[in-house]
Structure 1
Amino acid sequence: MGQVVIITGGSSGLGRCTAAIFAAQGWRVGLIARGAGGLAAAAADVEAAGGIAAVAVADVMDSAGLVAAAAAIERALGPAQVWINAAGNGVYGRFTDVPEAEFRQVTEVTYLGTVNGTRVALSLMRPRGQGTIVNVCSGVVFHGLPLMTSYSGAKAAVRAFGQALRIELAFERSRVRVSTVFPPAVNTPFFNHAISHMGWPARPVPPVYQPDVVARGIYMAAMTGRPEMTISGTVAAFALLSRLAPVLTGSVIRRLGVDGHLTRDAAADHGASPTVFAPSDKPSAVHGAFGERARRWSSQMGLRRLYVRLAGSRGLS
C-alpha cells in the first residue's frame, strides 16, 4: 500500500496536475474541491497514472466540511502523510473597482482556506508525530502585483502564516513539517476562472510555465520538507531583485502597465468561466489557454533535483 497525500483544490490546474505526479510515484491520492465533475476528472487522471484516488466535495472555507472530507478520504485510503493546500482564486482590477464581497472571497479562499486546510492536516498529523504540509503560495509575495491586490495580499499572508507556524512547531519539537512553495506564472485555468474588471480577461505575466514544472516542484517540497522553495529561476531572480532593489523592482512592474495583465484574445474572452463564488458546472482542465509560449522546463528545478539525488533523498524523479 502506497503513502497517502490529500490535495485541496485538486479538481483543476496545479492541484490536478500535482495529483497525477504523486500517483505516478505510487501514492494514493485524496482530492478535495467544490465541484464533483472536476473531482471525477482528476480522479481519472490519478488512475490513468497508476494510482488510487478518493474524492470528497468540500469548500475550504467550511472547516467542518473539510474535517468530514479528510476523514472520508482517510477511511478510504489510510492515514495521510502529506497534505497540500492548493485551492485559490483571483479577481483582477484596480483596488477601487473590486467589490468588497469579491475581495473578501479571494482572501478567505486563498488565505483562510489554506489556514483551514492546515488546521485539519495538523489535527491528523500531530497525534501521529509526523507529516508534511505544503502550502502553494506565489512569487507575488516578493512584490505584490498591481490589479491583483486581493490575491497579492492573501498570498503574502500565506507565507507569513507558514513562517510563524514552523516556529511554533519547533517549540514543541514536532516532526510535522510545513513547506511553502513560490511558483511562477503558470498556464492553468486560473485565469479563465478569475473575475476581471479590466474589460478583457486576465492573463499570466510572462514568462509562463506549464503546470507540470510547478507540480514537480510541489512534489519535491513534500519529499524534502524544505521550509520555503522558489520554483523556477524566474521566481528566484525576482525574489533576489525585490530584496536588493525594491524600487527598481517596482519600476519594472510598472512598465507592464494594464495591458501586461490582460489578453485581448476573443477566444479567451469566450472561454471565461468565473468560479470565484461557485464551482464550474463542467470539469476544468489541467492546462490553460496560454500554452503556446509556456516553458516546459526549468533549469533551476533540474539542478535542484540533481542536488537532492546527490544528497541522498529518494523518490524524486
Structure 2
Amino acid sequence: MPFLSCTPKIVVVTGASAGVGRAAALHFAQRGANVALIARDAEALETVAEGIRLLGAHALPIALDMSDANAVHAAAERVERELGPIDVWVNNAMVTVFAPVTEIEPAEFARVTDVTYHGYVWGTMAALRHMRRRNRGTIVQVGSALAYRAIPLQSAYCGAKFAIRGFTDALRCELLHEKSRVHVTMVQMPALNTPQFDWALCRLPGEPRPVAPVYEPEVAARAIFWAATHKRRELDVGFSSVKAIFANRLAPAWLDRYLAHHAWRGQQRKTPADPGRAADLWEPVPDKHRLRGSFGDEARAGSASLWLDTHRRTTFAAATLALAALFAWRRHRGDV
C-alpha cells in the first residue's frame, strides 16, 4: 500500500474535545504533527491542547459549531495563517439521538443532520479550498459500519452516515476526473467507548450503550492515522464492522428481522434513563469531555482484523508460507 505522507505536519481534527477526535488529535501529535482542534467547548479544547503541547507539538484550539459553514471556512483560513498548509483534515464531529423515529422532533432530526452530515460537507469544502490549489492533501471521513447497515433507535445518525458515504463517493469521482492528487478516504468504525453515550439525547427506557463488541477510541485513532498516511479508499475497523457490512450485502432482509428483535436490548444499559439529564444536541455538556466513556471494563484495546487489514503484504506472505508448509507436510505424508 503506497504512502501518501508518512509525517503530516499540519492536521485539523473536528470533534476534537472528546472520544475519537481527542484520541486522533493526540495520536497525530505523538507522531510530530501540529494539530488544530475544532469543537464547541472552548474549555475542553484547551485541555486537549495542553496535552498536545506536552508532547512537543503546537496546538490551535478553535471553538465553533460545525453546522456553521462560514465559521468552518474561517477556521480553515486561520489554521493556514497560524500553523501552515493543511496536510490532513479529519471530519469527526457528531451529535445523535437515541429514540424511535416517532419520538424525534423534526428540529432534533435536522440538528443531527446539520452537525453530523452537513458538518462533514462544510469541513470537506473548507479543506478543499486550500488543498486543491496545492494539489495535495488528505481528507479523512470518520464513518461507521452504520453507513452500510442502519440500526433502529439511531435513525438520524445512520441517515447522516449514509449521506456522508454518498457525498464522499461523489467527491472522489470528481477529484479523479480532474486528476487531483487530493485524497479522500473513509474509515468505517465499530462501536467505541466514547462519552457520547453519557450525554446524547435519549428517549429510551434505559441509558444508551454501544452495541458489543466495543473498542477503545485509541483503536479508532490508529486507524485514522493509518488512513491519513496511506492511499486506501476505505478502511473497516474491527471484525464487527467487516461482518456487519458483509452480512448486509449478503442478507439485508434477515438483518432487518434480527435487529428488530435484538437491537433494543443491545443498545440499552440496565440503568434507567434519566429524562432530565443534560444532552449535547444543542449545546456542549460541561465537565464530561473525556477520552473514554463508561465501558472500559469491556472495551478492547486492539483489533486483530485492523492489523491484518493494514498489513496486507505481511498477511498474504504469511498465509502463502503456511499453505506451502501444509502442502509440503501433506506431500511428505503421501496425502498428495
TM-score range for the pair, normalised by the shorter chain length: over 0.9
User: Is the CA contact (8 Å cut-off) linking 1:89 and 1:193 kept in structure 2?
Assistant: no
Q: 1:226 to 1:273 in 2, by over 3 A?
A: farther
The Cα shift of 1:100 comes to 0.9
Identity score, percent: 38
The Cα shift of 1:232 comes to 1.1
The Cα shift of 1:213 comes to 0.5
The Cα shift of 1:257 comes to 4.1
Structure 1 counterpart of 2:242, from 236, 240, 257: 236
Question: Which residue of 2 is the match for residue 41 of structure 1?
Answer: 47
In the alignment, the residues of structure 1 paired with residue 130 and residue 292 of structure 2 have an alpha-carbon distance, to the nearest angstrom, of: 32
In the alignment, the residues of structure 1 paired with residue 53 and residue 199 of structure 2 have an alpha-carbon distance, to the nearest angstrom, of: 26
Question: Which residue of 2 is the match for residue 298 of structure 1?
Answer: 303
User: Is the CA contact (8 Å cut-off) linking 2:148 and 2:248 kept in structure 1?
Assistant: yes
In the alignment, the residues of structure 2 paired with residue 270 and residue 146 of structure 1 have an alpha-carbon distance, to the nearest angstrom, of: 20
Question: Which residue of 1 is the match for residue 147 of structure 2?
Answer: 141
CA deviation string 1:246-275 (max 9, x = no partner)? 122223322324222111336x85995311
Q: 1:305 to 1:220 in 2, by over 3 A?
A: same
Q: 1:197 to 1:310 in 2, by over 3 A?
A: closer
CA deviation string 1:144-187 (max 9, x = no partner)? 11011101111000001100100011110011111111100100
Question: Which residue of 2 is the match for residue 245 of structure 1?
Answer: 251
User: Is the CA contact (8 Å cut-off) linking 1:134 and 1:221 kept in structure 2?
Assistant: yes
Q: Provide the secondary structure at the position in 2 that maps to 1:182.
A: strand
Q: Provide the secondary structure at the position in 2 that maps to 1:286.
A: coil
Question: Which residue of 1 is the match for residue 30 of structure 2?
Answer: 24
Residues 1:273 and 2:278 are matched in the alignment: yes
1:97-116 equivalence runs, <5 A: 97-116=103-122
Q: 1:21 to 1:82 in 2, by over 3 A?
A: same
The Cα shift of 1:87 comes to 0.3
The Cα shift of 1:74 comes to 2.2
Q: Provide the secondary structure at the position in 1 that maps to 2:207.
A: coil
User: Is the CA contact (8 Å cut-off) linking 2:8 and 2:88 kept in structure 1?
Assistant: no
Q: Provide the secondary structure at the position in 2 that maps to 1:70.
A: helix
Q: Provide the secondary structure at the position in 1 that maps to 2:269.
A: coil
Structure 2 counterpart of 1:72, from 60, 78, 92: 78
Residues 1:62 and 2:68 are matched in the alignment: yes
Question: Which residue of 1 is the match for residue 290 of structure 2?
Answer: 285
Q: Provide the secondary structure at the position in 1 that maps to 2:62.
A: strand
Q: Provide the secondary structure at the position in 2 that maps to 1:201.
A: strand
In the alignment, the residues of structure 1 paired with residue 276 and residue 296 of structure 2 have an alpha-carbon distance, to the nearest angstrom, of: 15
CA deviation string 1:197-237 (max 9, x = no partner)? 11332110111100001110011111113111111111011
Of 240-249 and 254-263, deviating more is 254-263
User: Is the CA contact (8 Å cut-off) linking 1:56 and 1:73 kept in structure 2?
Assistant: no
TM-score normalised by length of structure 2: 0.87
Query: Unpaired runs of 5+ in structure 2?
Result: 1-6, 317-336
In the alignment, the residues of structure 1 paired with residue 275 and residue 205 of structure 2 have an alpha-carbon distance, to the nearest angstrom, of: 13
In the alignment, the residues of structure 1 paired with residue 57 and residue 274 of structure 2 have an alpha-carbon distance, to the nearest angstrom, of: 36
The Cα shift of 1:96 comes to 0.6
Question: Which residue of 2 is the match for residue 198 of structure 1?
Answer: 204
In the alignment, the residues of structure 2 paired with residue 264 and residue 41 of structure 1 have an alpha-carbon distance, to the nearest angstrom, of: 32
CA deviation string 1:74-133 (max 9, x = no partner)? 222111100000000110111011111111100110000000000000001001111000
Which residue identity lines up with residue 196 of structure 2 in the other structure? F
How many correspondences in the alignment?
A: 310
Question: Which residue of 1 is the match for residue 165 of structure 2?
Answer: 159
In the alignment, the residues of structure 1 paired with residue 198 and residue 46 of structure 2 have an alpha-carbon distance, to the nearest angstrom, of: 20
User: Is the CA contact (8 Å cut-off) linking 2:73 and 2:122 kept in structure 1?
Assistant: no
Of 205-214 and 37-46, deviating more is 37-46
User: Is the CA contact (8 Å cut-off) linking 2:202 and 2:275 kept in structure 1?
Assistant: no
The Cα shift of 1:71 comes to 1.8
User: Is the CA contact (8 Å cut-off) linking 1:56 and 1:72 kept in structure 2?
Assistant: no
Residues 1:15 and 2:21 are matched in the alignment: yes
TM-score normalised by length of structure 1: 0.93
Q: 1:283 to 1:201 in 2, by over 3 A?
A: closer
Of 187-196 and 50-59, deviating more is 50-59
The Cα shift of 1:291 comes to 1.3
Question: Which residue of 2 is the match for residue 314 of structure 1?
Answer: none
The Cα shift of 1:59 comes to 1.1
1:76-87 equivalence runs, <5 A: 76-87=82-93
Q: After TM superposition, where is structure 1 displaced by more than 6 Å over at least 4 residues in a row?
A: 308-311
Q: 1:2 to 1:162 in 2, by over 3 A?
A: closer
